[in-house]
Amino acid sequence: MSARIELKEKVLAENDRLADDLRQEFRAAGIVALNLVSSPGSGKTSLLERTLKALNNRLRIALVAGDVQTENDARRLQAAGGKIVRSVITGGACHLDAKMITEAVSTIDLSVIDLLLIENVGNLVCPSSYDLGEDMKVVVISTTEGDDKPLKYPAMFRRSGAMVINKTDLLGLSDFELSKVITNARAINSALKMFQISCRTGDGLPEWYDWLAALVKNKKAET
């Protein structure tokens, strides 16, 4: 085994250990934690803005927004009504890791929130390897990307529990075929929960909101 692979495995093992601690902390607090992953530009921040506006009165939501540079996303989420928003600038790293989340979460009183939404760095590769202690990864893709993305980035779709297909208002304006992306995603992960939405028109979003609310309700029932 090369020194490079050995070190990568060590880094991932250390990350997994911190992620397990986070998961226990989230479970003890009875909160649902989701890790949103996607390409740059698929609309994670827009989805979170809509989610905040729709659910801020029903759920107590905290957000951690990761970015390579800038606090643009965190600022957008605050403007959209986010009460507890933390920005993590990775400073060049192409993914969030459990250490960054541990630091961000240490500044949040978990006893007063129901739902933690983590917006990862826009990247379909590396974030798939880094467990952040989340209940589930949610992969967001948009209809303006290629419909073969699940086949080209299989690890991300395999390790996600849900897939949100955004920008359905632009269907028909490119070669993207909805049926193809669904077939390709199912081939990689047959259990993937799917949503078809447009953050621009609002289409399909109520189903997403209800699903989030149900996740929180089920978690409360468990604890």
For a second copy, the binding residues (CB under 8 A) are 3-4, 7, 11, 39-42, 45, 67-70, 72, 92-94, 121-126, 141-142, 144-146, 148-149, 151-155, 167, 169-170, 173-174, 200
**Nearer to a second copy among residue 78 and residue 83 (C-beta):** 78
CA distance 75 to 214: 28
**Nearer to a second copy among residue 84 and residue 93 (C-beta):** 93
The distance of closest approach from Cβ of residue 217 to a second copy in the complex, given in angstroms and rounded to an integer, is 33
The distance of closest approach from Cβ of residue 8 to a second copy in the complex, given in angstroms and rounded to an integer, is 9
**Nearer to a second copy among residue 173 and residue 194 (C-beta):** 173
Beta strand segments in 41-197, E: 61-67, 84-89, 115-119, 136-142, 160-166, 193-196
| Per-residue b or e along 63-97, where b marks 16 or more CB atoms closer than 10 Å to that residue's CB | bbbbbeeeeebbebbbebebebbbbbbbeebebbb
Tell me whether strands 193-196 and 160-166 are parallel, antiparallel or unpaired. parallel
Do residues 88 and 104 lie in contact, with contact meaning Cβ atoms separated by under 8 Å?
Answer: yes
The distance of closest approach from Cβ of residue 139 to a second copy in the complex, given in angstroms and rounded to an integer, is 11
**Nearer to a second copy among residue 40 and residue 206 (C-beta):** 40
Instruction: Provide Rg for the chain, Cα atoms.
Output: 17
Tell me the sheet residues that pair with 119: 36, 65
Please count the CA atoms within 13 angstroms of the CA of 85 that sit on its side-chain side. 22
The distance of closest approach from Cβ of residue 171 to a second copy in the complex, given in angstroms and rounded to an integer, is 11
Nearest partner of 78 among 111, 56, 94, 100, judged by Cα: 56
The distance of closest approach from Cβ of residue 101 to a second copy in the complex, given in angstroms and rounded to an integer, is 18
**Nearer to a second copy among residue 4 and residue 222 (C-beta):** 4
First to last CA, the chain: 43
**Nearer to a second copy among residue 146 and residue 161 (C-beta):** 146
The distance of closest approach from Cβ of residue 97 to a second copy in the complex, given in angstroms and rounded to an integer, is 11
